[in-house]
Amino acid sequence: MKRITLLFALICLAISAFRVIDFPQAEISNGVINAKLFLPDSANGYYRGVRFDWAGQVPTLEYKGHSYFGQWNSTYDPKLHDAIMGPVEEFVALDFDKAKAGGTFVKIGVGVLVKPDDKKYSFATNYEIKDGGKWTVDKKKDQVTFTHTLKDPTGYGYVYTKTLKLVKGKPQLVLEHSLKNTGSKDIATSTYNHNFFMIDKEPTNENIRIVFPFTVSGEGAGFGTIINAKEKTLTYARPVVPGDQVFSSGLKGFGPNAKDYDIRIENIKTSAGVRITGDRPLEKLVYWANPTTSCPEPYIHISAKPGQETKWNVNYEFYTF
């Protein structure tokens, strides 16, 4: 146990040395929740990688004295694929398999990227950004709207808008999305939220639980040993320590309706939690954890024909118990 405590203390020390004030950001509040957001910036932004959507990074969010996000990864490089914080999202790449080596493909919320060779897509690869599109940001007291506009010579084009809005008088954060297809090609992809929660900076251990509205089951690294699925809950049998692998490529049990997009992450030691709901049916439900964060990753399908616009929301309700 002393070894585990020392390892986690070293991770926290490395994280605490980082200063979020150095990056373009905005603060929002509704009098109930206070949060900071990082803003997209190709020269000075906190995150300049090519895996995740650049909009909506939340390094800090506080409610009733509880904290919900933070720097979970002690390694930082602005172009590192997972050097990012908060309820961050990724879109599956468009036309990656069709592109030839040296050709291009598109990632919504990132831009037009270059495919360097014939290898399979890897989210850890730092693909060159050929065209980052245009970002605009509209900041208000209780919300920030990000708009990403892109036109690709191969036929893809879109206006992607994402608003992070605090609900008036309530402990709720809503992620409102819209995607308008302005190109000549159909857009069909999947998107998911990685949900890098760190509730009160509790290490990943027996004090963290994940609750679903359905009887959940899962297979993969660490399942049945480090983490257990019982009825509607995932619980840890012991702390997750450096070197552990906790990953399932697809939890089972959810149905075809949006009502199953309803996930709770709770810290039973500090009695703080968050409920995540979406208005689209789950396409897939991945699970990943490391020593500092537990991440249910709900996937949904997104499509829009030329000229069409599609919308979807994800709601976060913060609570104590």
pLDDT at 22: 84
106-161 residue pLDDT tens: 999 999 999 999 999 999 999 999 999 999 999 999 999 999 999 999 999 999 99
Question: Is-contact 56 86, C-beta < 8 A?
Answer: yes
pLDDT higher than threshold 80 for residue 175: yes
pLDDT higher than threshold 80 for residue 12: no
Residue with tokens 């991945």: 286
243-254 residue pLDDT tens: 999 999 999 999
pLDDT higher than threshold 50 for residue 18: no
23-33 residue pLDDT tens: 999 999 999 99
180-211 residue pLDDT tens: 999 999 999 999 999 999 999 999 999 999 99
pLDDT higher than threshold 80 for residue 13: no
Question: Could you tell me which residue, 25 or 16, shows the higher pLDDT?
Answer: 25
Residue with tokens 């979020």: 20
Give the model's confidence band at 1: pLDDT under 50 very low, under 70 low, under 90 confident, else very high. low
What average pLDDT does the structure give for the chain?
94
Give the model's confidence band at 4: pLDDT under 50 very low, under 70 low, under 90 confident, else very high. low
Supply the DSSP string of 237-302, one letter for each residue.
SS---TT--EEES--B---SSGGG-EEEEEETTTTEEEEEEESS--SEEEEEE-SS-EEEEEEEEE
Lowest mean pLDDT among 10-24, 55-69, 203-217, 239-253: 10-24
Percent of the chain residues past pLDDT 70, beyond the cut: 93
Q: State whether the Cα torsion 296-194-81-21 is positive or negative.
A: negative
Mean pLDDT of 264-293: 98
- CA distances to 168, 176, 236 from 296, rounded to whole Å, are 27, 20, 14
pLDDT at 138: 98
Interatomic CA distance for residues 281 and 300, integer angstroms: 6
Mean pLDDT of 276-284: 98
